[in-house]
Structure 1
Amino acid sequence: MPPRPTDTQRNPMQLPIDQVAAMARGVLATLGYDTDEVAAITEHLMDCEYRGVTYGGLARTLTLHERLARTGGRSSERPAVVHETVTAARIDGADEVGYLVALDATQIAIEKARSQGLSIVGAANTWCSGMSSFYLERVTAEGLIGITVSSVDAFVAPFGSSEAKLGTNPAAIGFPTTAEPVIWDIGTSAVMLAEATLAARTGQALKPGLAYAPDGTPTTDPTEALAGAFAVWGDHKGSGLSIMIQMLGFLAGSGVEPEYLTDHGFLMIVIDPAIFGDAATVLKNATTFANSIRSARPLDPSVPVKLPFDGSRERRQAALSRGWLEVDDVVVSRAQAIIAG
């Protein structure tokens, strides 16, 4: 199970980007990933760091290390397509980390959509696929529309309950425009697993109303939450969305009650707007609409209205411009210890 909280208070360190990336590569190398795999996973983790999703960045390498130590290391089998048509494919992830499996699924989905106008690719027997928007940026860069859902092991209580029955179950949609894409990416839980895990590592409390202890009482202790349940996002609406995402995971081949960090499902649908004959007009209309939303009269004149992913894009650009990232010292020390052996 996830780590218990330490007595250490959060003490963020400002480190050069290259140093953070080097630590991520160092931890991943100890886990048996080859050079290309290390590069692919590190790119994803660093994008999380740039965008302010710190719990999905360098801290995530600690989870990968703990998970592989618990299961005896990487499987000797490799992910493979086990069912395929001209528009669809289903991948057996062979218990490989989702950062790699979902990347392969994305490439297959793009190629099939380019050829057929529409594709759907599912992957199961995988875990930790990270940010769906990372993959949708690749889809929208090709002028394609992407939709993803991910079903994971139970950490979330359905609306009206305090018992974990649902995964954090992210959903995302990416739409290209003639300028920047619009990418909406959410988890359907009030707090994400990686977020609670990092809070436990650094001894930080969760905000009230986000989680339940094992006995069903509300808690702000991340360790109790990890052993109990997270609240669902969006009350009954978010609960319904999460339930349907879990069921779509069955389409990808995932299990009904997967164990901790195993047998997650990843499903991607990709659409070429040219399938209806006029991609240029679709992209033009999307661009016009996006600009209209951004120009909406703000409630606070100093805070302009933003579209999904605008904030992520700005934070990434700011991080790359300043050249440093803020990383918790607990994460840094643990990563360094793993690298040192």
Structure 2
Amino acid sequence: MNAMKKKLNLAEAKDIAVSYLTHHGMPADHAGMVADHLIYATLAGHDFAGLSRLQPIAGMLRERGPGGAITTLRETSLSALIDGANVNGYVTSVLAMDKAIALAKRSGIGVVGVSNSWFSGMLRYYVERAADVDLIGMHAGNSTARVAPFGGIDRLLGTNPIAFAFPADPVPLVIDFSSASVMWGDVLYHQQIGQPLPEGRAVDPSGQPTTDPAAALRGAILAWGGARGSALSMIVQALGILGGSDPIVRDGGGRWGYFFLALDPELLMPLQDFKKNIQSLQQQVEGSRPVPHGSSVRVPGSAATRKVREGKTRGWLEVDEPIYNAITSHSSSFP
């Protein structure tokens, strides 16, 4: 049975998120940045990455605190290395992507690494910032080890997502996917709303397949796509190391690592030609023949792009009632 939904306008949703986060010790300016991201994720149709993330974030705040002053450890005309000062990754990732964008606008390329940060949400949120200003964006990040490598049952890899964005008119091409069969936040979300996981996504602590979110959280998530997904996860893990991560980030501590790249297409071809060709690519994919009895062919990431734009125009979103009740219980301001 699906959970009941609560409808909120976007201003209400942001007020609730900011109130909840500041109640748990996050500075108000950081809470606003996080709230904007969670609303975006909800509009994109990814409830597990939306307002349901507030409770896990609060748990991490209790463990790690709100963090300190973010600093730049090293900078060149093309690169920067940022110490996230134990600040939430939703905040440090915006700052890092914007830094990469600024470098690329001056030099054509911007490469930024971030360490000493945690929990960064949907990667497309950051790379889309690059595409919106006519740059190519790339972002990869590793995190706490919760995924078993192909053929194993030990938690050694993060869920290790990777994302790319390419400018085009009227909408950019934005592709964001995880190298894990299910995101950790999605496992938590299934636990929060009392629903089992799909089969083939996780194992329990003894290595037996499980659909129980609680058992999966104690055990390990499986790699997406078998050996190929596991190989991709290793690539993201290596890029995370370049960003400042420990080789393996264990529970209870360790440094996560984020890698950001912004690239000016003008380094290789005129911007308008590139944007026109990316749009042509999208149109030809969408106009191609579907499999027999199948629906139309879709460009990866296009559904999320469309949903975000429609949601902002609509002006409201829906959140599962168990989630709503949990994130408003601290205050009498919300009915």
Question: Shorter-normalised TM-score: what interval?
Answer: over 0.9
Q: What's the counterpart of residue 136 of structure 1?
A: 127
Instruction: Show the 5 A alignment for 1:108-119.
Output: 108-119=99-110
**1:51 aligned to 2:44?**
yes
Q: Distance in 1 between matches of 2:210 and 2:48?
A: 20
Cα deviation for residue 41 of structure 1 reads: 1.1
Letter in 1 for 2:327: A
**1:331 aligned to 2:323?**
yes
SS of residue paired to 2:12: helix
Q: What's the counterpart of residue 314 of structure 1?
A: 306
Q: What's the counterpart of residue 256 of structure 1?
A: 247
Instruction: Show the 5 A alignment for 1:53-92.
Output: 53-71=46-64, 73-75=65-67, 77-92=68-83
Q: How many residues align?
A: 331
| RMSD between superposed Cα atoms in Å | 1.9
CA contact (8 A) 1:10 1:203 kept: no
Letter in 2 for 1:22: D
Q: Distance in 2 between matches of 1:163 and 1:339?
A: 41
CA contact (8 A) 2:20 2:330 kept: yes
Cα deviation for residue 268 of structure 1 reads: 0.8
Q: Distance in 2 between matches of 1:317 and 1:119?
A: 28
Q: What's the counterpart of residue 7 of structure 2?
A: 15
Q: Distance in 1 between matches of 2:195 and 2:286?
A: 35
Deviates more, 1:13-22 or 1:245-254: 13-22
**Which of 17, 22, 26 is the matching residue for 1:29?**
22
Cα deviation for residue 195 of structure 1 reads: 0.5
Q: What's the counterpart of residue 187 of structure 2?
A: 196
Q: What's the counterpart of residue 247 of structure 1?
A: 238
**1:215 aligned to 2:231?**
no
Letter in 1 for 2:283: N
Q: What's the counterpart of residue 4 of structure 1?
A: none
Deviates more, 1:109-118 or 1:320-329: 320-329
Deviates more, 1:275-284 or 1:152-161: 275-284
Letter in 2 for 1:128: F
Deviates more, 1:128-137 or 1:275-284: 275-284
Q: Distance in 1 between matches of 2:63 and 2:21?
A: 16
Cα deviation for residue 321 of structure 1 reads: 4.8
CA contact (8 A) 1:14 1:324 kept: no
SS of residue paired to 1:338: coil
Cα deviation for residue 10 of structure 1 reads: 5.4
Q: 1:173 to 1:29 in 2, by over 3 A?
A: same
**Which of 26, 39, 49 is the matching residue for 2:32?**
39
Q: What's the counterpart of residue 289 of structure 1?
A: 281
SS of residue paired to 1:86: coil
Cα deviation for residue 182 of structure 1 reads: 0.4
Q: Distance in 2 between matches of 1:321 and 1:301?
A: 33
Q: 1:317 to 1:273 in 2, by over 3 A?
A: closer
**1:156 aligned to 2:141?**
no
Letter in 1 for 2:248: E
Matched-pair identity in %: 31
Deviates more, 1:255-264 or 1:40-49: 255-264
SS of residue paired to 2:74: strand
Structure 2 unmatched runs, 5+ = none
Cα deviation for residue 274 of structure 1 reads: 0.8
Letter in 1 for 2:330: I
Cα deviation for residue 280 of structure 1 reads: 2.4
Structure 1 unmatched runs, 5+ = 1-8
Deviations 1:215-268 (A, max 9, x none): 010001101101100110011111001011111111111112323475221101
**1:278 aligned to 2:273?**
no
Instruction: Show the 5 A alignment for 1:91-106.
Output: 91-106=82-97
SS of residue paired to 1:59: helix
Q: 1:49 to 1:242 in 2, by over 3 A?
A: same
Cα deviation for residue 285 of structure 1 reads: 1.6
Larger relative contact order (Cα-Cα within 8 Å, sequence gap ≥ 6): 1
Cα deviation for residue 142 of structure 1 reads: 0.7
Letter in 1 for 2:18: R
Cα deviation for residue 311 of structure 1 reads: 0.4
Q: 1:161 to 1:236 in 2, by over 3 A?
A: same
Deviations 1:31-62 (A, max 9, x none): 33344322211110000110111111111111
CA contact (8 A) 2:14 2:32 kept: no
Q: What's the counterpart of residue 5 of structure 1?
A: none
Q: Give the TM-score normalised by the residue count of structure 2.
A: 0.93
